[in-house]
């Protein structure tokens, strides 16, 4: 039976308690016991050792931190400030003692002036030199304890040694416990937070895809049985989302985005701390670290590469949020959303919608599962590239159709011998028989026998498309028969225009905005492909720069714990 590791706050409390007990035990039971029967000199030594033990115990309380890197930072700041403040306080006491010849009033007047100057200077120098905040405080604290606790020159030196030895000893004990007693490192925390962020990308992408599917009237999700989906109709007769349901999808996407940003924020905070940990190897089922310095980077996580990975994940998350907002506007029944949904249905094959959704989901899932050991090839990315390429080719053909209509002056409106590929695609879309491979190929204007094409198929499907739009769009729509439709077009200045020309040349502001937003979807999908490819390249380079291959195996075999994405 495998025992579960206690929570981090329990382990941090255990390390702090052991450190306090160790300092007090060494001071009072280990050293003072030797001087207890030595008379006045022994009592004096017991006082000094007792002060050192108390200082060490207080240090263990102050430097207790969740990870090794934080213990190193706090411990080193406290040690530097203590040593510098103790020595400076001792020297200032000696100077004041000699200058005033031990005159009580003048001696402490000089010491007060000195502590004012040095306290002010310590803050300025500490912040100017290394942006230190804790070290100047500890410098001033130790300065006051040494300079104002000494009675004579000999006693001043003893007080200085007592304070410095206690604080340095407490720091060393805390570091030893942090390394040996259930060690937790900023390096591990950083890798886990990056994995949480990558897993959040999959959830955010899934939420955006779910909203798009429901907005289009399709309840199917990526990963379901494709044959079962293709047997269903295109969903144009299903209602769009209500506002409550759309708001629920937005909350899910927002929670995913906030969770990703929170994980990246934790990773950013852990990155400087990871540079204070020197990786020594992976054995006994865990990674082991020693306190290190940030200049010895051979055994650290790569700093610049980690920053680039964090930036790429953040950029991809915001891009998915933009895609969600685009579908969010389409998903609300009524108004411009339904107009966009109608344009989307008429312009994009349903099979390609599913392919884009499944390919993006597969690429994000693959990255989350393989991090940090990311290869150069991502099967989902290659699939996404093919789907985006098909989408762009489809849009190019629509552009070509518009240009053709512009150059020909919209052609002979009375000639019904030609059937554009767009109308044929709509027919197959309504009948649920559209084939993604065949539908993406350019179609000839001629029929199968080389003669004139079929008559416009729009009357066969106008009942589904226009009736649904009329129910969902909050505007006057044509009736569901061709005569009324032609009359509406005539009022808009497009008398005699065929339905395919109406698609190419929108007759009102709502249709124009819907067409523009439809073309913007192609840009978003292309940006998504580029973002996933960039993230893939950065993660692959990051994997190559890790200090040891064992880190890849450990982080991959020990996934990040399931936690609330909104938790700090």
Number of domains in the chain: 1
What beta strand segments (E) does 123-200 contain?
none
Tokens representing 131?
């942006």
Six token digits for residue 290: 């020693």
What is the domain extent for residue 97? 8-180
75 domain-assigned: yes
Contact partners, residue 411, CB within 8 Å, separation at least 6? 405
Cα gap 314→524, rounded to integer Å? 16
Residue at 112 is within a domain: yes
Q: What is the pLDDT of residue 347?
A: 61
- Give the pLDDT of residue 310: 93
Tokens 């609330």 sit on residue: 564
Residue spans of beta strands (DSSP E) within 73-228: none
Calpha distance 79→156 (Å, rounded): 19
Confidence (pLDDT) at 197? 92
**Residue 452: per-residue pLDDT:** 42
Omega before residue 372 within 30° of 0, cis: yes
Residue with tokens 């020197």: 278
23 touches 50 (CB < 8 A) = no
DSSP for residue 84: H
**Contact criterion met (CB below 8 Å) for 399 and 515:** no
The residues that bridge with 290 in the sheet, in sequence order, are: 278
Tell me the two tokens of residue 155.
């006693």
Distance from C-alpha of 429 to C-alpha of 431, rounded to nearest angstrom:
5
pLDDT, one tens digit per residue, over 313-349 is 999 999 888 887 776 665 444 444 555 555 555 566 6
- 396 domain residue, yes or no: no
**DSSP for 440-469, written as a single string:** TS---SB-TTSSB-PPP-HHHHHHHHHHHH
Q: Cα separations (Å) of 55 from 77, 91, 191, 201?
A: 15, 21, 36, 48
Domain presence at residue 13: yes
Q: Give the SS3 label for residue 559.
A: coil
pLDDT attached to residue 264: 93
- Per the domain annotation, does 487 fall within a domain? no
Q: Give the pLDDT score at 163.
A: 86
Question: Has residue 414 been placed in a domain?
Answer: no
User: Residues in the chain with pLDDT < 70?
Assistant: 1-5, 130, 209-250, 284-285, 292-298, 327-350, 398-399, 401-520, 548-568
Give the tens place of pLDDT for each residue, 440-494.
444 444 444 444 444 443 344 444 444 444 444 444 444 444 444 444 444 444 4
Q: Which DSSP symbol is given to 288?
A: E
- Indicate whether 551 belongs to any domain: no
Q: Domain for residue 15, yes or no?
A: yes
User: Would you state the structure tokens that stand for residue 167, as one six-digit string?
Assistant: 């604080």
Q: Looking at the whole model, is its pTM more than 0.85? A: no
Q: Is 543 helix (H, G, I), strand (E, B) or coil?
A: helix
Among 350, 331, 333, which residue's Cα sits nearest to residue 469? Answer: 333
Q: How far apart are CA 527 and CA 530, in angstroms?
A: 5
């Amino acid at each position: 039976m495998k025992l579960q590791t206690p929570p981090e706050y329990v382990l941090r409390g255990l390390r702090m308690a052991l450190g306090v007990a160790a300092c007090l035990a060494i001071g009072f039971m280990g050293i003072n016991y030797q001087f207890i029967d030595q008379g006045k000199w022994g009592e004096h030594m017991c006082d000094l050792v007792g002060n050192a033990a108390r200082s060490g115990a207080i240090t263990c309380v102050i430097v207790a931190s969740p990870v090794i890197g934080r213990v190193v930072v706090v411990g080193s700041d406290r040690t530097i400030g203590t040593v510098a403040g103790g020595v400076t306080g001792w020297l200032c006491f000696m100077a004041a003692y000699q200058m005033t010849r031990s005159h009580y009033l003048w001696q402490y007047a000089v010491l007060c002036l000195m502590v004012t100057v040095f306290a002010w200077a310590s803050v300025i120098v500490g912040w100017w030199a290394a942006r230190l905040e804790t070290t100047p405080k500890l410098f001033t604290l130790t300065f006051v304890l040494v300079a104002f606790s000494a009675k004579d020159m000999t006693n001043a030196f003893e007080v200085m040694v007592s304070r410095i030895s206690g604080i340095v000893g407490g720091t060393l004990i805390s570091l030893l416990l942090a390394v040996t007693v259930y060690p937790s490192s900023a390096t591990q925390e950083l890798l886990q937070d990056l994995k949480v962020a990558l897993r959040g990308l999959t959830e955010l992408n899934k939420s955006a895809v779910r909203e798009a599917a429901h907005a289009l009237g399709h309840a199917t999700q990526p990963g379901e049985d494709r044959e079962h989906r293709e047997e269903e109709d295109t969903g144009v007769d299903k209602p769009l989302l209500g506002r409550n349901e759309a708001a629920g999808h937005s909350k899910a996407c927002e929670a995913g985005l906030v969770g990703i940003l929170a994980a990246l924020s934790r990773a950013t905070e852990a990155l400087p701390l990871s540079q204070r940990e020197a990786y020594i190897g992976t054995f006994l089922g865990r990674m082991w670290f020693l306190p290190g310095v940030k200049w010895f980077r051979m055994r650290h996580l790569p700093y610049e590469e980690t920053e680039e990975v964090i930036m790429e994940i953040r950029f991809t998350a915001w891009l998915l949020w933009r895609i969600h907002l685009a579908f969010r506007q389409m998903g609300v029944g009524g108004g411009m959303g339904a107009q966009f949904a109608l344009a989307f249905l008429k312009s994009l094959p349903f099979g390609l919608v599913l392919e884009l959704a499944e390919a993006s989901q597969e690429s994000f899932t693959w990255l989350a599962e393989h991090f940090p050991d990311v290869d150069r090839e991502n099967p989902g990315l290659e699939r996404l590239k093919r789907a985006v390429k098909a989408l762009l080719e489809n849009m190019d053909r629509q552009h070509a159709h518009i240009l053709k209509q512009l150059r020909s002056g919209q052609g002979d409106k009375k000639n019904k011998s030609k059937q554009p590929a767009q109308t044929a695609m709509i027919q197959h879309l309504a009948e649920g028989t559209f084939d993604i491979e065949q539908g993406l190929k350019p179609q000839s204007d001629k029929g199968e026998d080389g003669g004139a094409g079929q008559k416009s198929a729009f009357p066969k499907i106008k009942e589904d498309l226009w009736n649904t739009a009329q129910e969902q769009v909050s505007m006057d729509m044509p009736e569901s028969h061709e005569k009324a439709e032609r009359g509406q077009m005539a009022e808009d200045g497009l008398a005699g225009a065929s339905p395919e020309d109406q698609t190419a040349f929108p007759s009102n502001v709502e249709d124009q905005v819907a067409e523009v937003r439809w073309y913007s979807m192609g840009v978003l999908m292309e940006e998504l492909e580029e973002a996933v490819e960039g993230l893939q390249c950065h993660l692959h380079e990051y994997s190559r720069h890790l200090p040891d291959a064992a880190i890849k195996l450990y982080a991959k075999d020990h996934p990040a714990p399931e936690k609330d994405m909104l938790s700090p």
